[in-house]
Structures are given as C-alpha cells and as structure tokens.
Amino acid sequence: MIDLSVSLNKNLVLSNPILTASGTFGYGDELADLLDINRFGGIITKSISLEPRQGNPDPRIVETPAGMINSIGLANIGLDAFLREKKKFLSHLRCKVIVNIAAKTEKEFCEVIQRLNDEDWISGYEINVSCPNVKEGGIAFGTDQETLQRLTKNIRKITDQYLIIKLTPNVTNIAQMAKIAEDAGADAVSLINTVYGSAIDIYTRKPRINSTIGGLSGPAIKPIALANVIKVSGAVRIPIIGIGGITTGEDVLEFLIAGATAVQLGTVNFMNPLALYGMLDFISDYLNQQGIDSISQLIGSLQK
C-alpha cells in the first residue's frame, strides 16, 4: 500500500497533497456533481471578506497562450452568506476545508477570523496578502515587510487555528517575506499567487482586461512558481504549499521534490476539472515504479 498522506504539522494531515486553489473552485458545491471532492486532500475556498464584494467590471478574464490573466477583484458573497449558504455543504466534507480570507484592512481580517474561530469544521485559514487586482488591501499586505509582520502577528494573537500566509511572487525577495511570516507565527506559507500580466487588442489598442494589468496564472507561471518554492524552502522550516501552473501528476511531484509539502490546483480546474484523478493515478504509479512507499519521502528531496 502506498501512503499518499502528508502532514502539515500541528495535527493537520491531508489524505493526499493536492488541494484546490482559492478562486478557481468556488465554494466546492458548484463542482460537487462533476467529481468526488473528497478525493482532494482538501479544498481552499474562494476568498471571503466581511462584506460581499462585486469585484471588478468585465472583461475580467482573458486567455493567454499558456494560461490566463484575471482581474476578478475578489468578488465574493461575504461572510454572512458564506456561513448561511455554504457551511452545510462544506462542514460535511471528509477532506479538509481551509477558508481563504481577504480584507481591506487589518481590522477586517481580524473580524472575519474572530467570527470563524468557533467553526470546528474549518481546518485552517489561508490569508490572502497577495491579490494583485484590488485597490485596497490585497497585495499591499504582502509586499511590505512591516505590514506583513504586523498583520501575521496580530492574526496569530487572536487564533490558534492553522494559519497559512499566501505570498505573492511580485516582490524582490519572496524568501524574506516567507521568513517574516514564519517568525511572526504562520504555520505554513503558500505560494505563488498570480504574476502581474497584461494583454492588448491591437485593433482597438485597448487592454483585453478591464484593469489593464491583471494576474497571470496557468502553465506559463509554473517554472516561476517552482523557482520560488526552491528559494523559500531554503529559508523557512514551516511547510510550503506550492501553487502555480500545475496541470499534471508530474508537476505535483516536481513541487514536492522542490520542497513543497502540498500543492494547489488553480487554472487547471478551468481546463479540466477532473485532472485530479489522473494526477493521483500517475503519482501512485510513479511511487510504485520508484519503490517508494510514502509520498512524504519525496518532499524536499531535490538533488542539486
């Protein structure tokens, strides 16, 4: 028997290392007829904010040769509706449920967390300090060292819940940002959120996306994400959750070997929402062929 489970420490064990990436899988219920969600190690919800948000005007998604650019702007149903409408479905899942949180201010982050702290079906929070598509909050929290440190410390003070800080690659030194999050009390870091990107229609000379510059995701960013995981794994001891352009089982294994304990699937959910099944089969076959009985033996096994 091959053991696909991985431990993210602090009693958070996933049945396999594959999670969904925030904003690419809704709140899970929308896709429940399509696949068995419990086959994921866990799901990460769309970012939730205190109040509902409309997000940015259209067009807010554009396809690119190896991925997409989005400028959704954190559209979401807000905390009240989340608990009212999504809790029933999410709290009955057997896989882990991690709630991704976005906010305009530090106070808002703390308010959302205080409201969620008693929800025992939640296995962790992922704090989105890396959204490139909003004017207030978002990436501003994750690009300034002092702000990131203060926010992480303040969140740590009000919760014992598993705490993941989701980092942006749009900084000079992501390893330093990861270390700051670790020292301030984060239990894990996830990376990467989208990379700044743009696309222009040469006939109208207008940007193809309303915000002109949005967030690039998908296979185009996989090598960037992998390099960032390698950099961060040399800087922190807490688990790393790798994200960016993962579309195959081979990609998942690359991220684990690079130093990630788990990974998230994002843009691939728009291309093939059933990709998970093929990935799990590929990984089991690979481990069998290699004579490895536990996937955790691969984590950080990069031979330089």
- By CB under 6 A, name the binding residues for ligand FMN: 21-24, 46-47, 68, 70, 72, 74, 100, 128, 131, 166, 193-194, 217-218, 221, 243-246, 266-267
* Backbone φ and ψ of 82, nearest 5°: -60, -50
Q: How far apart are CA 197 and CA 214, in angstroms?
A: 5
Question: Considering the complex, what minimum distance in angstroms separates the CB of residue 214 from ligand FMN?
Answer: 9
DSSP string, 221-277: GHHHHHHHHHHHHTT-SS-EEEESS--SHHHHHHHHHHT-SEEEE-THHHH-TTHHH
Pick 70 or 228: Cβ nearer ligand FMN: 70
* Backbone φ and ψ of 221, nearest 5°: -100, 0
**Using an 8 Å Cβ cutoff, are 139 and 132 in contact?**
yes
Pick 218 or 259: Cβ nearer ligand FMN: 218
Q: Which residues lie closer than 8 Å to 107 by C-beta, 6 or more apart?
A: none
Q: How far apart are CA 38 and CA 45, in angstroms?
A: 14
Contacts 24+ apart (CB under 8 A), 109-116: 109/151, 109/154, 109/155, 110/154, 110/155, 110/158, 111/50, 112/48, 112/49, 112/50, 112/79, 113/155, 113/158, 113/159, 113/161, 114/158, 114/159, 115/79, 115/83, 116/79, 116/161
Which residue's CB comes closest to ligand FMN? 23
User: Which H helix or E strand runs over 125?
Assistant: strand 124-128
Question: Considering the complex, what minimum distance in angstroms separates the CB of residue 67 from ligand FMN?
Answer: 6
Q: How far apart are CA 175 and CA 228, in angstroms?
A: 8
Pairing of strands 124-128, 163-166: parallel
Pick 14 or 72: Cβ nearer ligand FMN: 72
Pick 89 or 270: Cβ nearer ligand FMN: 270
Pick 54 or 289: Cβ nearer ligand FMN: 54
131 is catalytic: yes
Tell me which of 12, 48, 103, 131 is the catalytic residue. 131
Q: How far apart are CA 251 and CA 61, in angstroms?
A: 24
Question: Considering the complex, what minimum distance in angstroms separates the CB of residue 18 from ligand FMN?
Answer: 11
Could you give the 3-state DSSP secondary structure of residue 204? coil
Question: Considering the complex, what minimum distance in angstroms separates the CB of residue 111 from ligand FMN?
Answer: 18
Question: Considering the complex, what minimum distance in angstroms separates the CB of residue 166 from ligand FMN?
Answer: 5
Question: Considering the complex, what minimum distance in angstroms separates the CB of residue 68 from ligand FMN?
Answer: 6
Question: Considering the complex, what minimum distance in angstroms separates the CB of residue 294 from ligand FMN?
Answer: 25
Pick 41 or 266: Cβ nearer ligand FMN: 266
Pick 61 or 292: Cβ nearer ligand FMN: 61
- What residue type is 168 in one-letter code? T
The catalytic site residues sit at 131
